Amino acid sequence: MNERLHILHHNAAAALLTRLRDEKTPPDEFRRLMGAISGPLASAATQGLDFYPTQVVTPLGEMADGITLESVVLVPVLRAGEGLLKGFQELLPDTELRPLGLHRDERTCQPVLDSDRYLPESLEGRTCFVLDPMLATGGSAVVAVDLLKQRGASRVVFVGLIAAPEGVQRLSDAHPDVDIYVAAVDDGLDDRGFILPGLGDAGDRLNNTVPR
Ligand code: PRP
């Protein structure tokens, strides 16, 4: 039992995920569906953010009980993580966007850092959401969280679509304080490190770069 693992229990989201998994779903619909499912994921993962009381003046008078949320940092892991941005940016319009360039070496399955140029020197005291649809071996997620903590992030949350049990274990072992929000945990990994049954290569399907 992993208290940091939160699996979305939402039939509409599960139906979207089923369509995402379908090999017949073309890239344009795949992008739209991933944007749609990022809404409930964002809603679940952002519960518990800090907020500050704010007054607001409506057309009919003053209202004292408004709130403003803490400003959080979105860190989509390129490329596939960009597919999960929509729900977060709609729910949290004031977020800072800090994409992180990582890819997984196809032969070794080891994460490779391509670019951290958009991360600021200091993330002191900030809450960061790492967005990446696939948590496979967990290597990429561990590197992403390492980098954010090295720069001072006070809280890091991982948000994905599908996780393999191996990836959840690796991320939790390396960073037991990180909450993990996903729509599903699948059976495991194949010998190339792909999640089974999964949905294939999310980055390729989103970007229409599936090998032909
Ligand atoms: C995929 C995925 C994760 C990583 C997961 O990205 O989006 O970033 O692999 O694997 P791991 O948990 O074993 O590290 P990929 O390297 O294929 O890049 P892409 O998003 O550009 O397709």
Contact 133, 181 (CB under 8 A): no
**Distance between Cα 96 and ligand 1 center (Å):** 22
- Its domain, for residue 186, covers 5-46+70-207
Q: Give a yes or no: residue 99 inside a domain.
A: yes
| Structure confidence by residue, pLDDT tens digits, 39-73 | 999 999 999 899 999 999 999 999 999 999 999 99
Q: Give a yes or no: residue 51 inside a domain.
A: no
Q: What 8-state DSSP symbol labels residue 82?
A: G
- The response to whether residue 35 sits with its C-beta less than 6 Å from ligand 1 reads no
**Ligand 1 atom 21: residue of nearest CA:** 79
| Structure confidence by residue, pLDDT tens digits, 4-32 | 999 999 999 999 999 999 999 999 999 99
Q: Which atom of ligand 1 is nearest to the CA of 111?
A: 14
Count of structural domains within the chain:
1
pTM above 0.95, yes or no: yes
- The response to whether residue 136 sits with its C-beta less than 6 Å from ligand 1 reads yes
Q: Give a yes or no: residue 60 inside a domain.
A: no
Q: Give a yes or no: residue 62 inside a domain.
A: no
Place of tokens 């909450």: 179
CA–CA distance, 89 with 108 (Å, rounded to integer):
34
- The response to whether residue 135 sits with its C-beta less than 6 Å from ligand 1 reads yes
Q: Give a yes or no: residue 198 inside a domain.
A: yes
- The response to whether residue 134 sits with its C-beta less than 6 Å from ligand 1 reads yes
Confidence check: pLDDT of 212 > 70: no
